[in-house]
Amino acid sequence: MRWPAPLQRRLDAWVSRRLPPGRQVTLNQSRIFIVPTRQGLLMLGLALVVLLVAINFESSLNYALGFWLVAMLWAAVHLTYRNLSGLVVQAETAGLVEAGENVSYSLMLSSPRSRYRGPLEFRHEDWGQVGAEMDGRDTQVTLSRPTSQRGRQPLPRFRLESRYPFGLVVAWSHIKMDLDAWAYPKPVEQRLQPVGTEPEGDVSNDHFVQAGTEDFHSLREYQAGDSVHRMHWPSFSRDELVVKHFVDYQAADQWLDWHALPGLAVEMRLSALAWHMLRCQQQDRPFGLRLPGYEIEPDKGQRHLERCRRALAEFGELR
Amino acid sequence: MTQFVPIMHRVMPLPVLWVLLLVQGVMVVPFLFYLPPWLGVVFVLVLIWRWRVTHGDMRKAPRSLIVLAMLVGIGGLLLSGLRAYNLDSAVALCVLGYLLKSLEVMRRRDGIFQAYLGYFLTGIFLLYNYTPVGALVAIAMVLANTLALHAVTADQTFCWKRGTKLSLALMVAAVPIMIAGFLFFPRLPPLWSIPNDERGAQTGMSDEVDPGSVASLAQSTEPAFRVQFEGDPPPRQQWYWRGTTLGEFNGRVWRARFRDRNRFQWPRGQLPLAQPGAEQFEYSVLLEATQQHWLYFLDWPTQVRGQEAYVLPDGRAARRNSLSQTYRYEAQSAASVTWPNETALQWYQRLPEQGNEALRQWGLELRQNAGSDAAYIDAILNHIRTEPFRYTLQPPQYLSADSLSDFWFDGRLGFCSHYASAVAYLARVAGIPSRLVGGYLGGTYNQSGDFIQVRQMEAHAWVELWLNGQWQRVDPTAAVAPGRIDLNLDDWLSEDNPSDLPFGARFGRNLGPFNDLRFWWDSVQYQWQVSILNYQQSNALGLLEARFGRINPWHAAASMAVFLGVLGLLMAWFTGLLQLPRRQPEPWASLRRVERQYGNRHTGETVSDFMTRLAYEHPGQREALARLAQLIDTLAYDPQAMLDASRRRDLKQRVEACLK
């Protein structure tokens, strides 16, 4: 149901005041709303019809039946309320995705006492409805929604509702979890301009960057902890403790620098950086990320990529 | 915005469709006993289709099937004679609609609709069957529909065991409010009158009697009514229960003066009624639904107190609306009455011009020889006594225009109505005003319930003659079968002619326990009718007011609120929403007492640390605290030790020492 806009705004404001966000939300009487559904009201109407039959046909048993139906509606309130009461919703993790993709949030539902709570429904217009059946102490729910922009993707205030077991009443709560997902910029190809501060010339020819195991490089003095297998035995005969030093050859470190993309808008620059990151990753080259006021040392691998993407996603947020 | 299927439009999974199919069976089968068997055919058609659906063929029913089912149903209704607009045909249509609707039940909304229609049909069923057994069937129906409602809501997560449990829980939880509503809700008069409120067939004495009809009534062992006397009942020989007075004779059939047909011409206002003599009886009658108007009385009625009931001048009482359910009234009768001026005597002398000539001649001859009216009647009865007349439940059908002559001279086999009819006719031949009275004779006294039960089998007809300025009862049956007056029909026949008895009445007649059971069941039914079916809301209110004085609306509202509040708490407790604070086990309870006096333990502080700190802060209690700490430590790690009473006493003493 939609209210007129000003009323809706006030209602939303009231709900967010009344139901503040948190990493963990326990549903109790101040958070659960419960009203009869349309189906429940229909039941009430039906009971009235039965009572009318009772009156007009002077049928004693129909009086009993009519009141039974009314009372069943009353009893159903307790049974439905019970599904949500005491339920603990806990924020777990949220994903990091490219802007425009679907991001998922995972929540943990738990309850201090094991109880069958029937199918619960998580509703929001972003994901329609997601069901979770809770039987026992805990269960995990994954919600996913599309992202449109780079940046913080908070889990919106959603509606958790239960109509179980008879659909006569609906109990619900509006839950706002303190859980953010992030979307990094969509990669867009742009040329990097050389940046003045970057050292040029011979440094860029130095292809070995770190100790490795592939190629022999030089001899060096033994240090405590060096492997016996790398000992240079001919030198040992001359009473010198020398070990062989190996290196891995690598391409030059590439710094992906914010300032290497002059003349572009902020989001465009971030998109370009994301594109270069992806390229480096594909070519298995190490790269570093340099953003205004923030720097990530060159490295490679999936985790490094994620870290850099996260940095792009979080760009502009207060840290 | 993501689109999703609205809840009510979701297609139901197969297990739920199974449940709905079963529920449908539970709903329809009991109705088949009351409605034309044609509905059974439609039910089978629907069943075949639904069987396919529950095996995964989720197509819509083809139009041809719907049309076929509809044609079979409506055609069947018409063939069964349900042409008129009345309750029977309305309900039959309703059940037919319920069946046809289920052909297309696929989505949640349809399922809910089916369950709700089911609840409504349960109410309708209770109009037809309101016995204790009927109530049990209705409970099963409510359970079935509640289960359906649950299954529809539970959708994929439906499970039989849990569903049944929850449905039963819901129903049981609703019982207290149901009882309260039943007891205290005012019983209103009908808001509008129901046209053609006919449910099932007519039973009992009708306002038209042809001699064979009473005999067919005598085949039934169904109860007709139950009578409870204030004080002692009259002797057994006087248990003549009169229902209809039939004064118009057309040669074969006797008709009443006031009939169902002319019920809007019945006299109203102050009517000339019989004045009671000295010996009077007060009693209440609980009459089964007969679909007719006639109330039954001990001979002769002088007064009736019941909704819409009044005594008519021809010595019977009636209700303008037909009795579509059990009806209770209080009445007064007198063993002898003085009759006011009878205005319709001539009407009671009328005979058809033709027919039964032989009997007419025979009567006139006898009258001339007899000398007086009384002697004439005596001579007739004597004739019955001496000639080989026989009383039987299975008389031949005298179908000719001279049926009475045939009976009197040739057949000589007849039931009470044949004899009564012939005697009344003979009386009119001689100019004596006469009429037939239809009703019951006898009954069974039920010791445990203190009431007399009269069955259809006790149906009887006798004659009233206007002699010496008053109506006098003459029962020709006494002449042909004297035993019948003292015994109920089945008792008398089982001595005399057991093969005449209907099978149901013969079965188990001489089994003692069976008889006891029957008496017990009769009295259960009587209690059921008196206390449940004829319950008046004033009963419970009266009981309360007698106890607590006059109840005003404020009291009522307050007690209602308290009732609902207590009930809500109970319900919350049962569903686990509300937990009573649990008592802490020892020794933690003792520790808590100490904490309350000296301040709480810090987080992470062990018991002994805590006690040491307290001892430091309160040097005066050092000794006592140390002793307590030691005991608490022991008990905390040895739960068995708590079982020892002396330990518990010790603990208590040590705690008290600390708290001083």
Which among A78, A119, A164 has the least Cβ separation from residue B577?
A: A78
User: Do A178 and A210 belong to one domain?
Assistant: no
Distance from CA of A11 to the nearest CA of B (A): 21
Q: Does pLDDT of A209 surpass 60?
A: no
B460 is catalytic: yes
Integer Cα distance of B154 and A135 in angstroms: 13
Q: Mean per-residue pLDDT for A251-271?
A: 84
What's the Cα-to-Cα distance from A256 to each of A200, A244, A279, B438, B568, rounded to whole Å? 15, 34, 11, 113, 67
3-state secondary structure B556-567: HHHHHHHHHHHH
The one catalytic residue in B150, B293, B418, B460 is: B460
**Are the Cβ atoms of A46 and B116 closer than 8 angstroms?**
yes
Measured CA to CA, the distance from residue B568 to residue B3 in angstroms comes to 39
Overall average pLDDT of the B320-348 stretch: 80
B119 close to B174: Cβ distance less than 8 angstroms: no
Residue in A closest to B175 by C-alpha = A68
User: Reading across the β-sheet that carries A96-98, which strands appear in turn?
Assistant: A96-98, A180-184, A151-154
Is A69–B119 a contact, with Cβ atoms under 8 angstroms apart? yes
Q: A205 pLDDT exceeds 50?
A: no
A132 to chain B: closest CA residue: B157
Indicate the length of chain A as a whole number: 319
**Chain B residues whose beta carbon lies within 8 Å of the beta carbon of residue A42:** 112, 116
CB-closest option in A42, A43, A60 to B533: A60
Nearest to B162 among A69, A116, A119 (CB): A116
Q: Which of A42, A57, A75 lies closest to B170 in CB terms?
A: A75
What is the reported pLDDT for A162? 93
CB proximity A168 to B under 8 Å: yes
Q: Are B536 and B328 in contact (CB under 8 A)?
A: no
Query: pLDDT-based confidence at A201, cuts 50/70/90?
Result: very low
pLDDT, residue B1, reads 46
Q: Which residue has the higher pLDDT, B485 or B95?
A: B95
Question: What residue of B is the nearest CA neighbor of A166?
Answer: B150
Across chain A, where does the E strand assignment appear? 24-26, 33-36, 88-94, 96-98, 102-124, 128-146, 151-154, 158-162, 169-175, 180-184, 208-221, 242-249, 254-257, 287-291, 294-299
Residue by residue, DSSP assigns B415-479 as -HHHHHHHHHHHHHHTT--EEEEEEEE--EEETTTTEEEEEGGGEEEEEEEEETTEEEEE-THHH
What CA–CA distance (Å, rounded) separates B637 from B640?
Answer: 9
Average pLDDT, chain B: 84
Name B276's bridge partners: B337
Q: How far apart are CA B173 and CA B568, in angstroms?
A: 10
Residue A54 maps to a domain: yes
CB pairs under 8 A between A and B: 161
Number of domains in chain A: 2
A129 is written with which tokens? 């409805």
- Work out the percent of chain A whose per-residue pLDDT is above 90: 44
The band of B23, judged by pLDDT with boundaries at 50, 70 and 90, is very high
In a mutational test of the B interface, the residue from A67, A87, A145, A158 whose CB has the highest number of chain B CBs within 10 Å is A67
Tell me the angle at which helices B537-548 and B160-184 cross, rounded to the nearest 10 degrees: 70
Nearest chain B CA: its distance from A125 CA (Å)? 5
In tens, the pLDDT along A142-176 reads 999 999 889 999 999 999 999 989 999 999 999 99
Flag whether residue A72 sits within 8 Å of chain B, measured between CB atoms: yes
**What is the dihedral sign for C-alpha B153, B156, B159, B160?**
positive
Contact A78/B568, CB-based, under 8 Å? yes
Hey, which residues does B435 pair with through a beta bridge?
B464
A173 and A227 both lie in a single domain: no
Mean pLDDT of B367-389: 88
How much is the average pLDDT of A29-36? 91
Q: What is the pLDDT of residues B556-590, one digit of tens each?
A: 889 889 999 999 999 888 887 777 777 777 778 88
The Cα B442–Cα B629 span in angstroms is: 88
ipTM for the complex?
A: 0.79
Residue A164 lies in a domain: yes
Which residues from A are below 8 Å from B3, CB to CB? 128
Both A176 and A226 in one domain: the answer is no
pLDDT at A109 over 80: yes
* Residue B464 near residue B437 (C-beta atoms within 8 A): yes
Q: What is the pLDDT of residue A155?
A: 92
Contact B575 A82 (CB under 8 A): yes
pLDDT tens for B226-238 read 999 988 888 888 8
DSSP per-residue letters across B521-551: HHHHHHHHIIIIIT--HHHHHHHHHHHH---
User: Which residue among A59, A126, A128 sits closest to B126, beta carbon to beta carbon?
Assistant: A59
CA distance A272 to B479: 122
A74 with A217, same domain?
A: no
Q: Which of B406, B475, B490, B522 is catalytic?
A: B475
How far apart CA B445 and CA B229 sit, in angstroms, is 11
Return the residue of A nearest to B567 by Cα.
A75
Q: Which two tokens stand for residue B262?
A: 């002319």
Domain that holds residue A151: 1-182
pLDDT tens per residue across span B470-482: 888 889 888 888 8
The answer to whether residue B390 scores a pLDDT higher than 60 is yes
Q: What single DSSP character describes residue B498?
A: G
Nearest residue of B to residue A130 by CA position?
Answer: B4
Test B171 with A76 for CB contact under 8 angstroms. Answer: no
pLDDT tens, B241-261?
Answer: 988 888 888 878 888 888 877
Where do the structural domains in chain B lie, given as residue ranges? 7-154, 208-351+433-512, 588-659
Query: What's the CA gap between B59 and A282, in Å, rounded?
Result: 52
Nearest chain A Cα to B173, which residue? Answer: A75
* A176 plus A242 within the same structural domain: no
In a domain, A194, yes or no: no
- pLDDT beyond 90 at B56: no
Q: Answer yes or no: B416 catalytic.
A: yes
Q: B222 φ, ψ to 5°?
A: -60, 145
Q: Tell me the chain A residues in contact with residue B157 when contact means C-beta distances shorter than 8 Å.
A: 118-119, 133, 164
Interface of A with B in 91-120 (CB under 8 A): 113, 115-116, 118-119
Rounded to whole angstroms, the Cα distance separating B193 from B324 reads 13
Cis peptide before A165 (omega within 30 of 0): yes
pLDDT at A136 over 70: yes
Closest CA to A179 of A88, A106, A102, A97: A106
Tell me which of A182, A212, A237 is where a domain ends.
Answer: A182
Plot region of A106 (φ>0 → left; ψ -120 to 50 → alpha; else → beta)? beta
Q: Which of B3, B152, B174 is closest, CB to CB, to A74?
A: B174
* Residue B475 designated active-site: yes
Residue to test with chain B: of A52, A55, A72, most B Cβ within 10 A: A72
pLDDT at A210: 58
Same domain membership, residue A8 and residue A102: yes
Residue A193 included in any domain:
no
Residues B116, A75: C-beta atoms closer than 8 Å: no
* A231: DSSP letter: B
- How far is the alpha carbon of A78 from chain B, nearest alpha carbon, in Å? 7
Where is the domain boundary, A132, A149, A182? A182
Phi-psi region at B468: left, alpha or beta (left = phi > 0; alpha = psi -120 to 50): left
